[in-house]
Structure 1
Amino acid sequence: MQLSVTLLAAARGSSLLAERFDDDRPLDSAGWDDVRRAAPGLAPLAAAELRYCSPTPRSRATGDALGLTPLIQPALRDCDMGRWRGHTLGEVTAVEPAAVDAWLRDPCSAPHGGEPLMAFIARIGEWLDTRPAQDGTRIVAVAEPAVVRAALVYVLKAPPPSYWNIDVGPLSAATVTGHRGRWSLRFAGGPS
């Protein structure tokens, strides 16, 4: 059974410098403008048989603005950042530099009291592996950039620290094809 899952990063809800861990802010005005500009190019995603989104306000708003009417998937929530939730990386680093260093170096650590990176990647991989669909089904999921990064690490069977080297910008899309335990990253375009 071969599925096609397009993971679309939600539009932004704040500037990159103001991003906070486990942020529930809605789309900001720049995010809405970005969605309007990107909508024509993303219109083919509405043809997907199954359409999902993470529970964040900006993921839901992005999906709705693109006409996807996505079903909220709690499993696509961002990484649980425990007591760091709502703070920027700079704020946390200023108070807990050793904890931030441990968190960035060890994917099994959770100095914030939340979810370790390894558990986050596994949760997103489990969601991907359990999509109820028939052969050829197209799926789209609008989620936070962290969720897209975690999915790509899982799909590529990459070492967990590679998570930090994947840059997922707002409204960027990645498509994976395959089935449980056997996924491939697919790039669009080019000659057929």
Structure 2
Amino acid sequence: MPLRVTFVAAAHGSPSHAERFQDDRPLDQAGWDEVQRVVGYLLPLAAAELRYCSPTPRSRATGDALGYAPLSQLALRDCDMGRWRGLTLAEAMAREPQAVDAWLADPRASPHGGESMLAFISRVGGWLDTRPGDDWARIVAVAEPAVIRAALVYALQAPPSAFWSIDVRPLSTITVAGRAGRWTLRLDAVSPQPSRT
């Protein structure tokens, strides 16, 4: 049986227009409300043999609220944004427009003094490739949207520029299945509810 890793995107910690690089803020009330609305749907993932989360307050709180009791994984941390940590993209652009343009255009660039996009994708992919596959079949990981985007780029062996084309919504799920170096994207169907006539 191939290993299945289901990623769950952490609930909101702030309004989406105010998303900040390496945002360490906890869940806000809207985030808690989002979790409560989907807990019944996502609770079955707690049956996974291994349960992990990014080391951010909102990922941990999301996992705990969903009943996962996840173990924090340093390799699932968000991209190290160096001196841009805590800024929005607009704020970084206002301060260093040429540096932001270089960062967006070149996945090897790290003008902020932190981690390049390529290094970030490789780190998250390395975590994915080192999950135990012989004894365990199912893993759930609550992570920041950027971490999930990096995992998908890695799993699909897509060019790093694909990172910018993936939209990961709060509390969405996506599964990759396979083994180290051989991953496939798995879209699980939701069984329709019986119609009431």
Q: Name the TM-score, length of structure 2 as normaliser.
A: 0.94
Q: Any idea what SS the aligned residue of 2:51 has?
A: strand
Q: Is the contact between residue 6 and residue 141 of structure 2 (CA under 8 Å) also seen in structure 1?
A: yes
Report the Cα offset of residue 43 of structure 1: 1.4
Residue aligning to 1:31: 31
Residue aligning to 1:184: 184
Letter of the 1:10 counterpart: A
Following superposition of structure 1 onto structure 2, how do residues 1-192 of structure 1 map, counting pairs within 5 Å?
Answer: 2-134=2-134, 137-189=137-189
Q: Quick one: distance in 1 between partners of 2:126 and 2:136?
A: 20
Letter of the 1:131 counterpart: R
For the aligned residue pairs, the C-alpha RMSD in angstroms reads 1.2
Q: Any idea what SS the aligned residue of 1:6 has?
A: strand
* Structure 1 unaligned blocks of 5 or more: none
Report the Cα offset of residue 172 of structure 1: 0.7
Deviations 1:32-73 (A, max 9, x none): 000000101101101100000010000000000000000010
Q: Any idea what SS the aligned residue of 1:176 has?
A: strand
Letter of the 2:153 counterpart: V
Letter of the 1:179 counterpart: R
Q: Is the contact between residue 155 and residue 176 of structure 1 (CA under 8 Å) also seen in structure 2?
A: yes
* Structure 2 unaligned blocks of 5 or more: 192-197
Q: Is the contact between residue 3 and residue 136 of structure 2 (CA under 8 Å) also seen in structure 1?
A: yes
Q: Any idea what SS the aligned residue of 1:7 has?
A: strand
Q: Quick one: distance in 2 between partners of 1:120 and 1:128?
A: 13
Q: Any idea what SS the aligned residue of 1:36 has?
A: helix
**Percent identity between the two aligned chains:** 69
Q: Is the contact between residue 120 and residue 150 of structure 1 (CA under 8 Å) also seen in structure 2?
A: yes
Deviations 1:162-185 (A, max 9, x none): 100000010011000000000000
Q: Is the contact between residue 56 and residue 77 of structure 1 (CA under 8 Å) also seen in structure 2?
A: yes
Report the Cα offset of residue 137 of structure 1: 1.1
Report the Cα offset of residue 13 of structure 1: 0.1
Q: Quick one: distance in 2 between partners of 1:38 and 1:99?
A: 39
Q: Quick one: distance in 1 between partners of 2:135 and 2:148?
A: 23
Q: Is the contact between residue 3 and residue 177 of structure 1 (CA under 8 Å) also seen in structure 2?
A: yes
Q: Name the TM-score, length of structure 1 as normaliser.
A: 0.97
Residue aligning to 2:195: none
Q: Is the contact between residue 49 and residue 136 of structure 2 (CA under 8 Å) also seen in structure 1?
A: no
Q: Give the total of aligned pairs.
A: 191
User: Which runs of structure 1 show a deviation greater than 3 angstroms over 4 or more consecutive aligned residues?
Assistant: none
